[in-house]
Amino acid sequence: MAQNLAAAKPDERYLQTIGYKRNNPGNLMVQTIAYSGKSNDQAKDGPVAFITMAKGLRALAMDVKMKGRTYSTITEVLTKYAPSSENDTKGYIAYVSKKIGKGATDKLTFDDKTNIALMQAIIAMEIGYGTCPFTETELQTAVTAAKVSE
């Protein structure tokens, strides 16, 4: 069973990360996607900035949802999400697999529970210093919001 990363007390260093400061806990980098709630004040490089954390969480939920339409395993999703040109992709895959309790090549269902588990693990890796500072309720709200619009 997947670990409940939201239940752990987060290491508060996440408050100083660029992703957190830009309301983008998934460190989404694609500037060309017209996410709802993108800030008008975008940096030339680095993670996209959102006007609220809820919008940044929704964007991550949308990204996971969209990848789930094309890819079916943690390896496939993270090879696209965290390319080796920018990340230790193999290490990222191993980390997420362990955190959500699924093998790297196991087929995923991409239901709400799986999407939330993926979001928790991605956030823990990207800004959380090993924990996800958001509640499951906040993540479920983002997943639900990602369902109602693109």
3-class state of residue 38 by DSSP: strand
What is the full DSSP assignment across 49-62?
-BSSHHHHHHHHHH
Q: What is the pLDDT of residue 59?
A: 95
SS3 70: helix
The predicted pLDDT at position 123 comes to: 97
User: Which letter does DSSP use for residue 3 in this model?
Assistant: -
- The whole-model pTM stands at 0.89
pLDDT tens-place values along the chain, 150 residues long: 455 555 556 678 888 898 999 999 999 987 678 888 999 888 877 899 999 999 999 999 999 999 999 999 999 999 999 999 989 999 999 999 999 999 999 999 999 999 999 999 999 999 988 889 999 999 999 999 999 865
CA-CA distances (angstroms) from residue 75 to 1, 71, 114? 19, 9, 15
Q: What is the pLDDT of residue 63?
A: 94
Task: State residue 3's pLDDT score.
Answer: 53
For the residues of 83-123, what is the DSSP string, one character each?
Answer: -TTTS-HHHHHHHHHHHHT--TTSPP---HHHHHHHHHHHH
Q: Are 75 and 105 in contact (CB under 8 A)?
A: yes
